[in-house]
Structure 1
Amino acid sequence: MPKKTPNPVKSLKIPLFIIISAKLCAIVSQKLVTAYAAKLFTTPVKHKIPKRELKMDSESIQNTIHIPAIDKNIRVYEYGKSKKKALLVHGWSGRGTQLFKIADSLLEHGYSIVSFDAPAHGKSKGSTTIMSEFITSILEIEKQYGPFEIAIGHSLGGMSVLNAIKNGLNVKKAVIIGSGDIVQDILDEFVSKLRLKPEISNRLRDYFENKYQVKMDDFSAYQAAKKIAIPILVIHDKNDPEVPVKAGIHIHENLQKGSLFLTEGLGHRKILGNHDVIKKIIEFTIN
């Protein structure tokens, strides 16, 4: 009898009507399609909170706080009452309760949790945001809710954690899960999914650099990794269709005190609830 193979993990697809809209914009002008792509790139999808996350949602103390540096308000979750605190950071189109299984396990091991809905995510208001606002939010949350023993981030949240540490977030350890390494690669992949010409990716980069007066590559996780001296656990799935495993490996290669844990068949999101992954996180956290 043939051995069963796991179901392939599929990448999230951009709806066809958006692809057609982008192509129509490209016909009109490069400036228009760049602005349209920028709008899409900075607009997360707000998902209804699933039932599995309702326990953390209902048992958390929730407050809305102001982030002065970006003049936006975000929802913050306090889960548990221990003085030992862990900061959890969701990824793009995620929520502050998305890492609930990791949160529950940390609670069992004597930690309390602080998480948040990033700008334009979950219960936080707004429709657009960008990684720099994730980072700014993390640093403000540390001022109001810290100090934290450890920070754990998924996907864009992991990239944001590394950049926040580079910019002064004071934690003893960090875990990043399924995170990208090079911002330009993320832009390239996004433009490819829109089925636009590769040159639009460079125009998109220039658009953001002019608008925010930053260099996009300065936010690349592998760059931040070079400047971080604390222990970092990098977790990535070999079959991640959203962020290729080479990204996690590249980040690990640039860390001073990094460890790498690769999984198989969990993709980009199931990895957050996997028993072996959570066990690895707990071992790393408490040892």
Structure 2
Amino acid sequence: MASFAIEVTRLVFKTLSVFSPQTAGRLAFRLFSVTPGRKPKNNKERAAVATAAPVMARGKPVSLSFSGGWAMARHFEAKPGRAPAKRILLVHGWGSRIDYLATMIDGLVAGGADVVALDLPGHGASPGRTLTMPTAVRAIDAVWRHFGGFDVAVGHSFGGASLACAAGGLVCDVPSHVAKRMVLIGAPSDMTWLFKGFGRYLRLSEKGQDALEGMVVRLSGRRIEELDAARVLSILTVPTLVVHAEDDKEVSADHARRYAAAGPNVELHWANGFGHRRIVSAAPVIEHINAFVHAQDRQAAA
């Protein structure tokens, strides 16, 4: 049963969207963009941050500026003495931070990669309390320009969708940035379902929903239907590994199936049993990603 505060909020938005749909849409978008508090919420999260501290200490902090703000990243250099390392851009999901990707960072570096992990605005070490897809794409643009590009782009959840949107040039004033390979973990394949679901949650009127979605056009220059990551993969034909769990309760496995249907360039790997969050720390998942990242090198060596 919804709490009293939620019911009051819904009533306010339902009423406002009838009498002033533009105002309701604008306020709904502002609420939609607010990021969760970055402090660990429970003992499990506090333990995860503490465990990640030694890994984070090995990364060199990098400050990145872009139009409208700035973000922080950490550069984890590959171990010396190996062949030229693949450079990987790693992006976390909504409400997360790079600390929670420490196990994956360790695994990718051990596999022979140079890893740059980006804290999206409003998350981790990056400032702010809001995040939108256009802002995420601008942060990706900033880290891309700073490092001169990446061999592989790896993203979890919202981070994966953001990397796909960045590759497709879906924010009109930001150039597309396409890695040679992509890995999308538990990532949504489009943004329509999220906005429609949020509108239903707030009980917006039809005009209020139109106003909410109109904010996307104002910020990105694209209609919400155009923010389709699966369609990007079908056009770019970049070799892409999609990792998803059928027991993912936050991003439906149907999104993985949409990606897989995009074309023969997409390889779908089910990581069942790891849900939406544990999937980024699962040893079999990291092993599979390393195999995908270095597949061409191993074929050449063979």
Residue identity matched to 1:284: F
Q: Which residue of 2 aligns with 1:245?
A: 253
**1:142-221 to 2 correspondences below 5 Å:** 142-167=144-169, 168-192=176-200, 194-197=201-204, 199=206, 200-221=208-229
- Write the distance in 1 (CA, Å) between the matches of 2:153 and 2:86: 12
Q: Which residue of 2 aligns with 1:21?
A: 9
- Write the distance in 2 (CA, Å) between the matches of 1:211 and 1:171: 24
Residue identity matched to 2:26: A
Comparing 56-65 with 194-203, greater Cα deviation is found at 194-203
Partners of 1:22 and 1:33 within 8 A in 2: no
Q: Which residue of 2 aligns with 1:228?
A: 236
- Scaled by the length of structure 1, the TM-score of the pair is 0.86
Q: Which residue of 2 aligns with 1:4?
A: none
Identify, as 1 or 2, the structure richer in helix: 2
- Write the distance in 1 (CA, Å) between the matches of 2:242 and 2:35: 25
- Write the distance in 1 (CA, Å) between the matches of 2:54 and 2:236: 35
Structure 2 SS opposite 1:227: helix
Equivalent position to 1:34, from 25, 28, 33: 25
Q: Which residue of 2 aligns with 1:262?
A: 270
Instruction: Give 1:118 shift.
Output: 1.1
Instruction: Give 1:16 shift.
Output: 5.9
Q: Which residue of 2 aligns with 1:134?
A: 136
Residues 151-176 of structure 1: per-residue CA shift (max 9 Å, x gap): 10011111111122223324221100
Structure 1 SS opposite 2:235: coil
Assess, with a 3 A threshold, how the Cα gap between structure 1 residues 94 and 19 changes in structure 2: closer, same or farther. Answer: farther
Structure 2 SS opposite 1:99: helix
Instruction: Give 1:136 shift.
Output: 2.0
Residue identity matched to 2:212: L
Instruction: Give 1:133 shift.
Output: 1.6
Structure 2 SS opposite 1:235: strand
- Write the distance in 1 (CA, Å) between the matches of 2:293 and 2:219: 39
Structure 1 SS opposite 2:100: coil
Residue identity matched to 1:205: E
Comparing 33-42 with 16-25, greater Cα deviation is found at 16-25
Partners of 1:135 and 1:164 within 8 A in 2: yes
Give the root-mean-square deviation of aligned CA atoms: 2.3
Residues 19-71 of structure 1: per-residue CA shift (max 9 Å, x gap): 5323223224444432332112111113236223222322211122211xx23
Assess, with a 3 A threshold, how the Cα gap between structure 1 residues 238 and 73 changes in structure 2: closer, same or farther. Answer: same
- Write the distance in 1 (CA, Å) between the matches of 2:72 and 2:191: 26
Partners of 1:25 and 1:32 within 8 A in 2: no
Partners of 1:88 and 1:151 within 8 A in 2: yes
Q: Which residue of 1 aligns with 2:280?
A: 272
- Write the distance in 1 (CA, Å) between the matches of 2:149 and 2:221: 30
Instruction: Give 1:140 shift.
Output: 2.2
Q: Which runs of 5+ in 2 are unaligned?
A: 41-48, 80-84, 170-175, 296-302
Partners of 2:86 and 2:152 within 8 A in 1: no
Residues 87-137 of structure 1: per-residue CA shift (max 9 Å, x gap): 101111221333221111111111121011112222211222211221222
Assess, with a 3 A threshold, how the Cα gap between structure 1 residues 201 and 139 changes in structure 2: closer, same or farther. Answer: same
Partners of 2:24 and 2:211 within 8 A in 1: no
Q: Which residue of 1 aligns with 2:37?
A: 46
- Write the distance in 2 (CA, Å) between the matches of 1:55 and 1:258: 35
Partners of 1:26 and 1:32 within 8 A in 2: no
Partners of 2:161 and 2:190 within 8 A in 1: no
- Scaled by the length of structure 2, the TM-score of the pair is 0.82
Residue identity matched to 1:23: L
Seq. identity, %: 23
Instruction: Give 1:80 shift.
Output: 2.2
- Write the distance in 2 (CA, Å) between the matches of 1:19 and 1:233: 41
Structure 2 SS opposite 1:52: helix
